[in-house]
Amino acid sequence: MFRAVLFPQNSTAFKWLVACHLLLALIAFVLVSPFMAGLAFVVSSAALAVAKGKPAGHEAPAWSLPALSLFFIPPPMMLDQQVHQLLAGLAARLSQGWLDTMQVLHVVQGTIVATAEKRFFVDDACSGTNTLMVAMCVALIISSFNNRSWIHALVLLVTAGLISVASNVLRICLVIGGLHYWRLELDQGAAHEAVGVMFFLLDLLLVWSADHGWHFALNSTQSKARPCPYGTPTAPAAVSGLFGSLSLGVAVIGMTLLLGPELLALSRHSNAPVATKELAGADEFQLPEMLAGWVREGDQPVENSMIGNLGVRNQVWRYRKGRQEAFVAVNFPFLGFHDTRLCYSGQGWQFQKQVDGSLPGDTQNTVRFLEMNQPTELARAHLWLSVLDENGTAQTFTSEKPLDRMAERLLSRWSNPSPVLNTYVLQIMSVEPENDTQVQSAVTELLAEARSCLAQALVNHSPHAGKESE
């Protein structure tokens, strides 16, 4: 490696790539940008590959190091959340066909699959967010280890992504079908983790099987010309037959899983009651009976539950003021700043208008107002959002303009380098609202009073253990 750097095969390209690497590294240092640092690492890997030139027979392909280094780039501008939302919605929509074949009555609302027994939220695990990148990385490692061509690696990379999406769709169907047919709660606890591990291992086996299948289909001359990485040109016939049979067996298992919904549909439907579990205890808040002239309905929240397996509690109260009605909700705790719009878009809500503003006494935009509608339920609502940290301090909503948002993120790394830990989301929702200035002013007063009470409670409250937001 050191000899390749000192005496590069392509000196001109090597010098340009090294210069680009140093420039990106300097930018990453000045801007405190992990994304730019990741790009600098990719460029340095490409420079090393150019310096080495054509690899020897026992070495990995030249494309392997730059391709694998791409996985070290952290997604910028919260792109990971957008990818998660895309994968979760895709998995929920694709599961509809299988669930129809299984004869399971269901409705898909964004990232939520509602059945007669339960509402299932497609989180990180079932959306494939956790397994997609791992499966694609393993595909590149297998291609590199077996000295495949870059065309083979690219095809296997796409295949690994499709395998991950398909297996997670089948995982959703298995969880829903298990409850529908056999009353098995596979969506939580150790059973949920076991199902996830099983499908993850199956993903890896299918990727390994696909590598053999694409090698046979493409008949790569490059892999034929290069010797085996173990140093032996050919493997014994018995070993080759064993691995070939195992690869074929894994492919058969994958085909069987694709026919899983039809097999589930043959099972006998049971009408036994669904077992329920007590919610885990968590700290709770209690809003006062009167808030800015609004009167709370009842002594207890209309909803007090945990959101799926996220470890986040959702408390909702109903307040009235004359003919006006508003729902006040507190969701907590989240790890870091939580964009509540992802939750609503996952439930099928569409945003028509967004305005960021502030309450009296605020110097920055600490309130987000949203006009939204739900096409499937023909509903319309106004939503006010405010986020507090564990010290009761209102957090600022970042600008939606890309340039302003990037500038704010870069400046915050210098002005406030320590990240926000636990956050608490306060929501005010008015369903079928009136487009009246006085009505919106009354709701704004309700938000101000509710936020003040919540901030005071947080100041006197013990800190919570934050959970990652989905």
Rounded Cα distance, 70 and 49, in Å = 14
pLDDT band at residue 186 under the 50/70/90 scheme: confident
Q: Is 356 exposed, middle or buried (0-12, 13-18, 19+ CB in 10 A)?
A: middle
pLDDT tens-digit series, residues 402-444: 666 666 666 665 556 555 578 899 999 988 887 777 888 888 8
Res 158 pLDDT > 90 = yes
Higher pLDDT, 59 or 328: 328
pLDDT, average across residues 440-468: 77
Is the confidence at residue 235, as pLDDT, over 60? no
pLDDT of 229 reads 46
Mean residue pLDDT of the chain comes to: 78
pLDDT at 461: 66
Per-residue pLDDT at 309: 56
Report yes or no: 336 and 423 within 8 Å, Cβ to Cβ.
yes
Question: What integer pLDDT is reported at residue 138 of this predicted model?
Answer: 93
Q: Given pLDDT bands bounded at 50, 70 and 90, which one contains residue 153?
A: very high
Band (269; pLDDT cuts 50, 70, 90): very low
Compute the average pLDDT of residues 348-375.
Answer: 87
Say what percent of the chain tops pLDDT 90.
17
* Higher pLDDT pick, 279 / 102: 102
Tell which wins on pLDDT, 137 or 32. Answer: 137
The pLDDT value given to residue 316: 92
The pLDDT value recorded for residue 77 is 73
Question: How large a percentage of the chain has pLDDT more than 70?
Answer: 75
**DSSP one-letter code for 394:** B
For the residues 194-206, what does the mean pLDDT come to?
Answer: 90
Q: Is the pLDDT of residue 226 over 80?
A: no
Helix (H, G, I), strand (E, B) or coil at 213: helix
Over 70: is that where the pLDDT of 362 sits? Answer: yes
Q: What is the pTM of this model?
A: 0.60
What span, in angstroms and rounded, lies between the C-alpha atoms of 163 and 167? 6
pLDDT of residue 262: 52
Q: What is the pLDDT of residues 301-310, one digit of tens each?
A: 888 887 755 6
Helix (H, G, I), strand (E, B) or coil at 324: strand
- Identify the pLDDT of residue 273: 38
Conformational region of residue 150, where left means phi above 0, alpha means psi within -120 to 50, and beta covers everything else? alpha
pLDDT of residue 231: 44
Burial (0-12, 13-18, 19+ Cβ within 10 Å), 33? buried
Largest CA distance in the chain: 85
Q: Which of 120 and 281 is assigned the larger pLDDT?
A: 120
If you search the block for the tokens 């890997």, which residue do you land on?
A: 45
Give the pLDDT band of residue 246 (cuts 50, 70, 90).
Answer: low
Question: What is the Cα Rg of the chain in Å?
Answer: 27
**What 3-state DSSP class applies to 28?**
helix
- pLDDT greater than 50 at residue 465: no
Highest mean pLDDT among 55-64, 168-177, 347-356, 456-465: 168-177
The token duo for 285 is 């808040």
Q: What are the CA-CA distances from residue 315 to residues 41, 224, 318, 331, 425 (Å)?
A: 45, 63, 10, 7, 11
Higher pLDDT: 51 or 263? It is 51
pLDDT number for residue 410 = 61
Token reading at 450: 């509710």
